[in-house]
Amino acid sequence: MKSKGIVSWIFPLLATGVIAVGRVYDERLFYFGMNISLIISSCFIIYSLLFLASIKNVRLFPTKRIFYLFLSILIVSPLFWGFYNVTEYGLYKYINFIFLIVPLLIVLSEKFSYSDVLRLFQVLFWFITFLSIAGLSIVSTTSGRLSAFGGGPIVFSRWMLIGVTILLFLKLFKSNKIKWIFIFLFFILSLASGSRGPVFAFLFTISVYLLLNFQRVIVKLIGGVVLVLTVFLLVGNELNFNDFGKADRLATKDSTSKNVRLKFAKRSLDLIVAYPFGVGIGNWQEYCNKTKPYHLLKHQYPHNLVLEVFAELGLIGGVLLLLVILKSLYLTYFRMTTIPNANGIYSLLFYLQIFLFINSCFSGNLNDARFLFVVIAISLTKEPLIKENNA
């Protein structure tokens, strides 16, 4: 491989590390006396500054203007702390997003081409494969919920289903057999994590795909259903998912998680009504408890990206977020249906946006939704992502 080729892989590798870890410093990632997250984030910040310095002009259009306006509100959000409190949690959330995610989003939307995007998804796929191997080692030795390298079971399940989505729309292997082996592995491991949210989001995304492509996939759909039913009729009695990780949680009628999230939603709406201009990043818990001091919350965020942004950045920030998501989805869908030789990139971006957005409505916070913003930023490149002749 030529030196130029090696250099072209450095940023996708660092970007994958940032997307995976999402923190400048993560105390959980100490290996061999070194903090891996600090090494990755330091190298990424230096490298991204070089990319940002090389941007001669910003190529704007309406959707990207809204996206950058939303990021600008995030950047100046410490002004809220002048009127409200600043928490350690909020400070770290701000630092992680501003110093890692914002530069990444700008570089992706301004500098990335088709080949760069393809490299990034290839590196992401191999990272997910690495996670799956770690997951297999865990599920073979314990019946607990799957997690790996500091991430919880929801994060693990989401990564596995991102891997499935990448394989469904990008041709990473010449052999379809290898592709479907990986798809099966990733999907089974996502079930083994016992996390309902990512699985529901994935099934919703697949439903959207079937709805938009019904005539084209109806024969394959019927064949797939027949195959699955045949397998279960032949070996169903031999299968015992109760012994496979925590897959049994997917069928357990436990409404605790649903009730907690409904309570979070109600408390968030109360907070938005009380503070329509927002309370500042990281202050959701504190001001929810101030509005109802007789019913205190232990959680630091509402496990819903939209409610979190509306509560912490106010109505303006929340409306901008919704506009960014909706307009980006429309732009990606338009390019997906009108650009013939994009080789699945826009299909992947469109369905990933749906999957990640639905996920963000069930779990995680602003920083945890970083991959959703990454996919949006890639979708907002000025020039269409079309395979170059030499790619």
Q: Find out whether 204 and 361 touch, Cβ atoms under 8 Å.
A: no
Q: Find out whether 277 and 315 touch, Cβ atoms under 8 Å.
A: yes
Which pLDDT score is estimated for 360?
Answer: 93
Which pLDDT score is estimated for 233?
Answer: 58
**Among candidate residues 236, 300, 292, 293, the one with its CA nearest the CA of residue 266:** 292
How many Cα atoms are found within 13 Å in the side-chain-facing hemisphere of 8? 15
**Among candidate residues 96, 106, 46, 99, the one with its CA nearest the CA of residue 70:** 106
Q: Where do the domains of the chain lie?
A: 3-379
151 forms beta bridges with 148
Q: Find out whether 280 and 86 touch, Cβ atoms under 8 Å.
A: yes
DSSP string covering 19-63, please? HHH--S--TT-EETTEEHHHHHHHHHHHHHHHHHHT--S----HH
Q: What whole-number distance in Å separates Cα of residue 226 and Cα of residue 89?
A: 50
Which pLDDT score is estimated for 3?
Answer: 43
Q: What whole-number distance in Å separates Cα of residue 214 and Cα of residue 304?
A: 31
Q: What whole-number distance in Å separates Cα of residue 283 and Cα of residue 301?
A: 8
Which pLDDT score is estimated for 1?
Answer: 37
pLDDT in tens, the chain (391 residues): 344 566 789 999 999 999 998 888 888 777 777 888 899 999 999 999 998 988 888 888 999 999 999 999 999 998 888 888 888 899 999 999 999 999 999 999 999 989 999 999 999 999 999 988 887 776 545 544 555 555 678 888 899 999 999 999 998 888 888 998 999 899 888 888 777 889 899 999 998 998 888 777 666 666 666 665 665 555 545 545 555 555 555 555 566 677 888 898 999 999 999 999 999 999 999 999 888 887 888 888 999 999 999 999 999 999 999 999 999 999 999 999 888 776 789 999 999 999 999 999 988 889 999 999 999 999 998 888 887 654 4
Which pLDDT score is estimated for 346?
Answer: 93
Which pLDDT score is estimated for 234?
Answer: 57
Indicate yes or no: pTM above 0.75: yes
Which pLDDT score is estimated for 147?
Answer: 53
Q: Is the dihedral of CA 147, 151, 157, 161 positive or negative?
A: negative
The DSSP output letter for 151 is: B
Q: What whole-number distance in Å separates Cα of residue 113 and Cα of residue 290?
A: 48
Which pLDDT score is estimated for 383?
Answer: 80
31 forms beta bridges with 34
2 forms beta bridges with none
